[in-house]
Amino acid sequence: MKSKNTVAVVSIVFFVALSSFANEKLKAASERIEIEVQACKFSITPSAHGEVTIPREENDYKFAGYSEALDSNGVSQRFGFSIGCVDRVTDRNDVAKEHGGYFDPEKKAWVAYFLDEQDKGSLAPATHIYAVHTSNASGFARTTDDVIGDPRQRARALSYCLFHDAKAICGDGQVMNLSDQKANFLPTALKILRSVEFVDVKPYDRSASGATGTVAPVGKSTHKK
């Protein structure tokens, strides 16, 4: 099990995963782009400076990604998040907890999920939950700051899940280096997530290659049941 006090591993997993997709990047042009990740088909509106990374055959079409380079004090920093598909969802909270959130029926809101009280005590002050609603999906995004390690290397991690019927797209990434808060990718990340629109796949399309079965969320979350 990973350390409860660090979320930096999320961003490392994300950037290593996307590096294998370098030849499949699509320059975004502020117009809707349709993406298909296994059983999930959806569209987003990328920013003018963003890059959409599509799945590739050698990775079994298991995940896509979105990233953008931000300039601060003459230094370019790249941030982004992975996009994975979960099909045939029967319990949304089971899926959401893998990415650090769950829907609290008493509060009628998405809240942060912590492994235990020790995990909550150390990470709750550095965690924030954002409700995400789109034209036909809903869910949450969570940010958590690194709380240990060299302060110059600490980052703000992002995790999220968006649900539509029995499907979900979930992922992890990084939105800020805490030592340089002028380069903040979070507003753009939330805008991209809120632009998601699922495209319902016709029954006969579900038998296509890579469009069946249950797919684990992309990345390795630090939040486990």
Spell out the domains of the chain, with CATH numbers in brackets.
Answer: 8-207 (2.60.120.1690)
Question: Parallel, antiparallel, or unpaired for β 25-27 and 33-37?
Answer: unpaired
pLDDT for the residue numbered 73:
84
pLDDT for the residue numbered 61:
75
pLDDT for the residue numbered 59:
67
Instruction: Return d(Cα 187, Cα 56) in angstroms, integer.
Output: 28
CB-CB contact of 185 with 79 (8 Å)? yes
pLDDT for the residue numbered 48:
86
Residues 6+ apart with CB under 8 A from 7: 123, 144, 145, 146, 155, 157, 222
Name the β-bridge partners of 79.
68
Residue 79 token pair: 């941030």
pLDDT for the residue numbered 127:
98
CB-CB contact of 132 with 139 (8 Å)? yes
CB-CB contact of 17 with 9 (8 Å)? no
pLDDT tens for each residue of the chain, 225 residues long: 333 333 333 333 444 344 434 434 554 455 899 999 999 999 999 998 899 988 988 667 789 999 999 999 888 999 999 999 999 999 999 999 999 999 999 999 999 999 999 999 999 999 999 999 999 999 999 999 999 999 999 999 999 999 999 999 999 999 999 999 999 999 999 999 999 999 986 543 444 333 333 333 333 333 443
Question: Is the pTM of the predicted complex or chain greater than 0.75?
Answer: yes
What is the DSSP annotation of 4-67? Answer: TT--HHHHHHHHHHHHTTGGGEEE--SS-EEEEETTEEEEE---TTEEEE---GGGTT-EEEEE
Query: Phi/psi at 195 (nearest 5 deg)?
Result: -95, -5
